[in-house]
Amino acid sequence: MTSQDQTPVNSAEEALKHIVDGFRHFHQEVFPQQQELFKKLATAQAPRAMFITCADSRIVPELITNSSPGTLFVTRNVGNVVPPYGQMNGGVSTAIEYAVMALGVQHIIVCGHSDCGAMRAVLNPDSLEKMPTVKAWLRHAEVAKTVVHDNCNCATEAESMGVLTEENVIAQLQHLRTHPSVASRLASGQLFIHGWVYNIETSEIKAYDAVEDRFLSLSQATNIPSASPKGRF
């Protein structure tokens, strides 16, 4: 066997070795330095927020919010989608109900991002012909596509992508509000929802502001933008 024949095997082994080496470094160097924290976390969690984002490897919720373990209750999927209540009793709906009812989180953040492959696929559905599961899943983003298609005179694909990514976050926030546990605590003012778009290249986050009905820079806003409706009870 020539060395060329072994290349794919080697590169797969290399990839795993990097991950295992990383674990060993964490286990031997990082963990001992934070033993107190991990001891506290061993038997309980009290996260400050639920964070729903894309499965994209470039989005690291704890990194971009400078959070420690135990701070964020994270749910990830292709396109940071939240299926409307009742349509699918899957992982996202389960995680939402658990976060709100069992953990009592007060904030749910839906975070999209720049250069999202899921958003690109929504714009170019032909690319999903051989991925029926992805195609079915991204039907939950169809509403955003229609909003953009009907209302945006987008000149370039980059502009369409930007607007679609924001509209998808708004659509998923609307889906989030169809979940009874969420709707009830929003009505009583005990839960707050947020829609963010993270820019991979610049690290900027734009946050949806329901009062101004637009996305504002999170690094510059004096008041933290919120997508929450006013509580009624």
Q: What is the contact surface with Zn ion in residues (CB under 5 A)?
A: 54, 56, 116, 118
Tell me how far, at minimum, the Cβ of 194 lies from Zn ion, in Å: 18
In the complex with Zn ion, which residue's Cβ is closer, 56 or 167?
56
Tell me how far, at minimum, the Cβ of 11 lies from Zn ion, in Å: 24
In the complex with Zn ion, which residue's Cβ is closer, 121 or 182?
121
In the complex with Zn ion, which residue's Cβ is closer, 122 or 227?
122
In the complex with Zn ion, which residue's Cβ is closer, 7 or 203?
203
The crossing angle, in degrees rounded to 10, of helices 142-151 and 157-176 is: 130
User: Which residues does 49 contact at the CB level (< 8 Å), separation at least 6?
Assistant: 71, 72, 73, 105, 106, 107, 108, 109
**What is the token pair recorded at 5?**
């024949």
Tell me how far, at minimum, the Cβ of 113 lies from Zn ion, in Å: 6
In the complex with Zn ion, which residue's Cβ is closer, 27 or 58?
58
Tell me how far, at minimum, the Cβ of 138 lies from Zn ion, in Å: 11
Strand partners, 53: 76, 111
Tell me how far, at minimum, the Cβ of 114 lies from Zn ion, in Å: 9
In the complex with Zn ion, which residue's Cβ is closer, 85 or 198?
198
Terminal C-alpha separation, the chain: 73
Tell me how far, at minimum, the Cβ of 124 lies from Zn ion, in Å: 14
